[in-house]
Amino acid sequence: MRIGILNSGGDCPGLNAVIHGVVGAASKLGWEVVGFRDGFEGLLPDGEHVLLNPADTVGIMKLGGTILGTTNKTAFATKVGTSNLKEVAGRVIEMTKQTLASLRVEALIVVGGDGSLGTALHLFRAGVPVIGVPKTIDNDLQATAMTFGFDSAVSCVVDALDRLHTTAVSHKRVMVVEVMGRSAGWIALWGGIAGGANVILIPEIEFSLEKVAECVLEREKNGNHSTMIVVAEGCKMPDGEQVTREDGGYGPRFGGIGEVLAKRIGDMTGKEMRACTLGHLQRGGEPTSLDRILGARFGVKAVELVREENFGRMVSYQAYHVDSVPIEAAVHKLRSVDAEGEVVKTARAVGISLGD
Ligand code: F6P
């Protein structure tokens, strides 16, 4: 059996861990893995692919980015020469079928976000045996409690806030820190809480400039001369001021809401302001241990779904909220690792001996 894997959309810490998990689990079954380079571009007739052996994935778990490369929707549409999404989908289906058949690849694992998984669904409906693996640092995908890459992004934000905090205090300044999250405030919320932000602005909660300014002035009155404001890039200015990129897209390329907000809050409070856009720092670099493990587990699960011929499904991480239980449910018996559980299986799949 030969299976294929591609990464599509923005890169994300933990992608290499997924590849490591897929290759490890597949090789245990005696299967071959073909890695398609640069996302769906790797499926084009002139696209590139590589045979991935376990030896090729040694040590890649700790690497940021993806050894296979990736492309986003816009770059792919340009490459196939049309911006009509229907035509793009049709092209993808046609070329995927041809390329998989010519390479004798019997199933395809698509690691991607909302857009790429949408394409995966098109492929599945057109008869291609596909498995999806959720990927986004923004953590905004439905049907999974968490995506790998999110924890690394949050760690980056926390590290930045810790640093910005000391300079903000020294200069009695207000810092506006713009973080990623074009549709959702997960990174802002988690990073802001863990990094000690005083104000967190997310797209899900409409904010008022007056309230933010009030908070800054109130802190000032109480002797706190610096304030940390974290804002998700996807927030809209409450007064309708347009803060979008010139090309209509998202992302921190040409300055965004953080800078506009800093100017406006400065005018309203008279405080000295600084804006800092963390941008792609949040996407680069080594994945945290949590993202490495989650990525590897997702990869191993994807292979399991292929083995079960459970196509058209997405790997998903479940149960991730704070709830309560009776104290008696916690005491008198310690919780052991499940020796037959999915995490132990993942360790085995990526070539780790449990000594048994
Ligand atoms: O992965 C999602 C994301 O991180 C968004 O938060 C951000 O808007 C976007 O990617 C930027 O990506 P790029 O610059 O690669 O288009």
User: Is 251 near ligand 1, meaning CB less than 6 Å away?
Assistant: yes
171: domain CATH number is 3.40.50.460
User: Does the annotation list 136 as a binding residue?
Assistant: yes
Same domain, 16 and 67: yes
Distance CA 10, CA 188 (A): 18
Are residues 73 and 117 in contact, defined by beta-carbon separation less than 8 angstroms? Answer: no
User: Is 134 near ligand 1, meaning CB less than 6 Å away?
Assistant: no
Which residues lie below 8 Å from residue 219, measured CB to CB, with a gap of 6+?
198, 225, 227
ipTM at complex level: 0.95
355 occurs within a structural domain? no
Same domain, 27 and 87: yes
87 occurs within a structural domain? yes
Same domain, 144 and 121: yes
The number of the ligand 1 atom at minimal distance from the alpha carbon of 113 is 1
Q: Is 247 exposed, middle or buried (0-12, 13-18, 19+ CB in 10 A)?
A: exposed
User: Does the annotation list 116 as a binding residue?
Assistant: yes
341 occurs within a structural domain? no
Q: pTM for the complete prediction? A: 0.94
Q: Answer yes or no: 138 catalytic.
A: yes
In the prediction, which pLDDT does 270 show?
98
Q: Is 105 exposed, middle or buried (0-12, 13-18, 19+ CB in 10 A)?
A: buried
User: Is 311 near ligand 1, meaning CB less than 6 Å away?
Assistant: no
CA distances (Å), origin 277, targets 175, 242, 258: 10, 18, 7
Same domain, 205 and 258: yes
Same domain, 250 and 265: yes
Q: How many CA atoms lie within 13 A of 355 on its CB side?
A: 0
Q: How many domains does the chain have?
A: 2
Same domain, 157 and 141: no
114 occurs within a structural domain? yes
> Could you report the per-residue pLDDT of 70-96, keeping only the tens digit for each?
998 777 777 777 777 677 778 889 999
Same domain, 309 and 190: no
352 occurs within a structural domain? no
In the prediction, which pLDDT does 112 show?
96
User: Does the annotation list 127 as a binding residue?
Assistant: no
187 occurs within a structural domain? yes
For ligand 1, atom 11, the nearest C-alpha belongs to 251
Among residues 11, 38, 46, 138, the one annotated as catalytic is 138
Distance CA 251, CA 199 (A): 21
Same domain, 305 and 247: no
User: Is 180 near ligand 1, meaning CB less than 6 Å away?
Assistant: yes
Same domain, 143 and 291: yes
Range of the structural domain that residue 252 is part of = 153-283
In the prediction, which pLDDT does 240 show?
78
Low-confidence ranges of the chain (pLDDT < 50): none
Please report, for the chain, how many H helices and E strands are present, in that order: 10, 10
User: Is 178 near ligand 1, meaning CB less than 6 Å away?
Assistant: no
In the prediction, which pLDDT does 246 show?
61
339 occurs within a structural domain? no
In the prediction, which pLDDT does 75 show?
73
In the prediction, which pLDDT does 89 show?
78
Task: Quote the ligand 1 centre to 15 CA distance (angstroms).
Answer: 15
Task: Quote the ligand 1 centre to 349 CA distance (angstroms).
Answer: 31
Same domain, 198 and 308: no
User: Does the annotation list 281 as a binding residue?
Assistant: yes
Ligand 1: which of 277, 283, 291 to mutate, judged by most atoms within 8 Å of the beta carbon?
A: 283
User: Is 10 near ligand 1, meaning CB less than 6 Å away?
Assistant: yes
25 occurs within a structural domain? yes
